Amino acid sequence: MKSLLCAIGAALIALGATIGPASASVVIAGTRVVFPAANGEVTVRLSNAGNQPALVEAWIDSGNPDSTPDSAKVPFLITPPLARMNAGKGQSLRIVYTGQPLPADRESLFWLNVLEIPPKPTAKPGEEQNTLQFAVRSRLKFFFRPANLAGDPSTAARDVTWHVVVDGGGYALEARNPTPYHITFSKLSLSVDGVAYAPDSGMVAPLSSLRLPVKRLVHAPAAGSTVDYTVINDFGAAASYQGTIAP
């Protein structure tokens, strides 16, 4: 049953991608999930804002956007994995860590998938039924956060250091993250000689670096050039910071 629903959902999603966007009736509370390891479990709240019932399937994957509940192998269990949600009602997803080893010195990134499958419409007597339905999948970042990590996740973005490095035939802005937390940039601006350059946004993993090409930058900026950046915190809100290019 679960595999059949996934196959139907995947086919409908692919069809929808060629026709146009569909709107979801099932709303997820929040834009990301943070799982504190010390708690052992978290709850994610769903609500059906539509005017008809929906079937909802949820699973977690480790980074494959083509994952299905049967193919995803992660150390988490979701209850219930499949549920009917009536119009105007809510549903809680209980997510439990099963205990398989994960790095203890940094966060681990997974993805929470919520697939909404609308009910099949019924035609009125004497009318021909001719409809097109969409299954809508939402995919949220899911951060597993070990206990006793160093530093404060709410201010970790302050510790990022910035460098400009040669990248192919041009230059890239490199963010180096010395913290054990993932840092998601929603907006970046590099100021060089009075000109603002806007690299693409991205996410830098814990204890890692991220290179973001800077279009039209023709020479390396001087040390001390400013970088204005906005990050998304645990609650989905934006926080702004300013850094400088290191020597």
- CATH number for the domain spanning 137: value is 2.60.40.10
Residue 222 has pLDDT above 80, yes or no: yes
H or E segment and range at residue 2: helix 2-19
Residue that is last in its domain, among 145, 175, 209: 145
Residue 117 structure tokens: 């499958």
Structural domain contains residue 151: no
Confidence bin at 119 (pLDDT 50/70/90): confident
CA distances from 103 to 6, 33, 143, 241 (A): 30, 18, 12, 28
Same domain, 69 and 171: no
In DSSP terms, 211 is beta-bridged to 174
Structural domain contains residue 150: no
Q: Give the separation between CA 134 and CA 154, rounded to whole angstroms.
A: 38
Structural domain contains residue 112: yes
Residue 171 has pLDDT above 70, yes or no: yes
Could you give the percent of the chain with pLDDT greater than 90?
82
Confidence bin at 177 (pLDDT 50/70/90): very high
Structural domain contains residue 66: yes
Residue 2 has pLDDT above 90, yes or no: no
Residue 233 has pLDDT above 50, yes or no: yes
How many Å separate Cα 239 from the centre of its chain? 17
Same domain, 52 and 128: yes
CA distances from 94 to 46, 84, 91 (A): 11, 15, 10
Structural domain contains residue 189: yes
The number of folded domains in the chain is 2
User: What number is the average pLDDT over the span 222-243?
Assistant: 97
Structural domain contains residue 204: yes
Q: From 13, 2, 145, 144, select the one nearest 72 (Cα to Cα).
A: 2
Computed on alpha carbons and rounded to an integer, the radius of gyration of the chain in Å comes to 22
Rounded to 5°, the CA angle 8-127-4 comes to 10
Same domain, 126 and 209: no
| Cβ pair 117, 8 in contact under 8 A | yes
Give exposure, 35-61, as e/b (b: 16+ Cβ within 10 Å): bebeeeebebebebebeebbbbbbbbb
Residues 6+ apart with CB under 8 A from 23: 136
Residue 92 has pLDDT above 60, yes or no: yes
Residue 7 structure tokens: 């196959």
pLDDT value for 123: 58
User: What number is the average pLDDT over the span 152-180?
Assistant: 97
Would you put residue 98 in left (φ > 0), alpha (ψ -120 to 50) or beta? Answer: alpha
Residues 6+ apart with CB under 8 A from 158: 241
pLDDT value for 182: 98
pTM for this predicted structure: 0.85
pLDDT value for 126: 60
Same domain, 187 and 225: yes
Structural domain contains residue 171: yes
Same domain, 106 and 188: no
Same domain, 174 and 85: no
Q: Give the separation between CA 43 and CA 25, rounded to whole angstroms.
A: 20
Same domain, 52 and 171: no
Residue that is last in its domain, among 123, 145, 167: 145
User: What number is the average pLDDT over the span 192-208?
Assistant: 97
- How many helices (H) and strands (E) would you count in the chain? 1, 17
Q: What is the mean pLDDT of the chain?
A: 89
Q: What is the helix, strand, coil percentage profile of the chain, to 5? A: 10, 45, 45
Domain enclosing residue 237, as ranges: 156-244
Residue 166 has a CB neighbour count (10 Å cut-off) of 9
Same domain, 189 and 131: no
Q: pLDDT tens-digit profile of 126-164?
A: 665 556 667 899 999 999 999 999 999 999 999 999 999
pLDDT value for 133: 66
Same domain, 49 and 123: yes
Residue 215 has pLDDT above 50, yes or no: yes
* Of the listed ranges 115-119, 180-184, 229-233, the one predicted with least confidence: 115-119
Stronger pLDDT, 207 or 20, i.e. the higher one: 207
In DSSP terms, 143 is beta-bridged to 34, 109
pLDDT value for 113: 98
